[in-house]
Structure 1
């Protein structure tokens, strides 16, 4: 059961992490970056990908545990559905997308020389769960500059996904005090994984590591494909029922009061 994702410790990851660096100009950067402490950089995490323009046309799916008994009905707009699913135990299906906004705090400057996935728990098979909830999708795509990390390697590390002058540039970004860099990261898996993000830094010639979690909790991703689920199709204002793998969705509106999670 998917309950094992939150209470058990059986995780595996297979796939690729894609990160995108966006220029600070024209991208919303929160005024207050957290935490403001003695670390050489401040990090702000945006864990709701439906609020990030880069993924505005993507489809977002979540596997709900079979034990789910939500106190409220799922909403209809995709950003609210993402938050609702996470609050009620939903696990990102196939991909977890997060935006990291990093700001330099050190007068010595900060070199971000690496980004790695810190795998906490893993399983070689995607843990079975219950119903899936899906939203998003639309017309048009955004093609930003990408950085890739293959988590199947012994030491997964980020590198550019696109060659420059016939070769892949080395991963590395320097932040002066007050300077901001935006990372847009997508982690995918064919199994089930609980993980965090490690940033490898160099400050004043000394190596440091900063770990980024999902607001104090691990990120959770599963490759489990539910044979049953519900979806709000792009441009509509109601849920429909879906079945099969790949899923086929009906056209008749379904009330959230009728949802089955097991």
Structure 2
């Protein structure tokens, strides 16, 4: 399968793989990721808080398109109540859970970290009319430690729903985390262009560790090829296990956080 985590692309810049800080602020970085062609590019955020990740390209030929653009939403909910966050505050100091559209501000203000599972939505689009082949998606772990000893807050109670299209999973607790297929989804490669984007969902699971990580997307178009780093505005994603942590939920119609059964 082309989605193993053990093979690093020669096109990916080594200087982008330094150790990440253990500061909780990693979860509150400004936004989804956008990438462009050239050697390791960091762009500025747009008015919607979208940030730029890195991209690298190979090949001197003029045949083919440049690197695809990847826009990432790291605050996606599988359903309105699926997401949990670890927060280093007592329940009395935590405001009510946000809607998905307000999750970034809520998490940033509290210094929270996605717990148990984090869902990323990746929108990948070609940079021109030429077809770009998306060859593989890899996981890169920068740091892995003991799960955070914070309180676990659920975003809701008694909800349903769920994402059903082009979904993949990542077991961040594994010795060599890799992107795996979810629910019969077909594997890479995929094809995109400027007028024909793809949306991928990545379910990253952590139970026993606090993990800093990012993704790399291998691409080619004609004689050009490269790797796009997929992260949160130049910072790694961060996901922590929540097993056994004090757990709270906010019942529908309630006015305060209440004790819930810990994750197990």
Tell me which interval the TM-score lies in, with the shorter structure as reference length. Answer: 0.5 to 0.7
Query: Contact 2:249/2:260 (CA < 8 Å) preserved in 1?
Result: no
Match of 1:198 among 212, 216, 224: 216
Encode CA deviations 1:107-159: one digit per residue, 9 max, x unaligned. 43211111111111112x3232x222221243433361433445566764434
CA offset at residue 185 of structure 1? 1.5
CA offset at residue 183 of structure 1? 1.0
Indicate the residue corresponding to 1:252 in structure 2: none
Match of 1:212 among 230, 244, 263: 230
State the SS of the aligned residue for 1:84: helix
The 1-side partners of 2:224 and 2:168 are apart by 25
Q: 1:244 to 1:156 in 2, by over 3 A?
A: closer
Indicate the residue corresponding to 2:75 in structure 1: 48
Q: 1:203 to 1:154 in 2, by over 3 A?
A: farther
Q: How many residues align?
A: 211
Structure 1 portions without partners, runs of 5+: 10-30, 248-262
Match of 2:153 among 133, 136, 159: 133
CA offset at residue 49 of structure 1? 1.6
Query: Contact 1:149/1:158 (CA < 8 Å) preserved in 2?
Result: yes
Indicate the residue corresponding to 1:253 in structure 2: none
Question: Where does 1:28-47 land on structure 2 (aligned, <5 Å)?
Answer: 40-47=67-74
Encode CA deviations 1:196-251: one digit per residue, 9 max, x unaligned. 11111112234311011113322111113354343212x3242232155359xxxx
Match of 2:125 among 103, 109, 130: 103
Question: Where does 1:1-262 land on structure 2 (aligned, <5 Å)?
Answer: 5-6=22-23, 40-50=67-77, 55-65=78-88, 74-79=95-100, 80=102, 83-123=105-145, 125-128=146-149, 130-142=150-162, 144-145=164-165, 146-151=167-172, 156-163=177-184, 169-190=186-207, 191-225=209-243, 227-233=245-251, 235-242=252-259, 245-246=262-263
CA offset at residue 160 of structure 1? 3.0
Q: Please report the RMSD computed on the Cα atoms of aligned residues, expressed in angstroms.
A: 3.8
